[in-house]
Amino acid sequence: MAKLMINCTHGQEDPERATLAFVVGNVAASADQEAVVLLTIEGVRIATRGYADDICKEGFQPLRDVMQSFVANGGQIWVCGACAKPRGITDADLVDGARIVTAANAVEYLVSGASSLSF
């Protein structure tokens, strides 16, 4: 099984990049590949309840729907702890399927053979 880590650094300010990270992740997850979307910088806000509800780039499904499908297909949403902390984001704020991780978690995943892609 292949592993893929998609890094998403954008939120509402760039709906296309925010959505594409989950589109690619969902393609991998639905093909039974291990997929993680790592949210960093402003992307961490995507993992908070209600934030993605109004994000919809023309030509794409709403981000909320793509995220739900991604998680339902076995995808994991990782939230950078170093990015979440200064924004006041805690585990209690997160959508289902999301969890706060450390840099060590991301490095371990990458050195275990995951390919990476960034949006």
pTM reported for the whole predicted model = 0.96
Which domain does 41 fall in, by range? 3-118
Q: Is 44 helix (H, G, I), strand (E, B) or coil?
A: helix
CATH at 57 = 3.40.1260.10
pLDDT tens column, 10-40: 999 999 999 999 999 999 999 999 999 999 9
pLDDT tens column, 59-118: 999 999 999 999 999 999 999 999 999 999 999 999 999 999 999 999 999 999 999 999
Alpha-carbon distance of 47 to 87, in angstroms, equals 12
DSSP structural state of residue 60: S
- Domain tally, the chain: 1
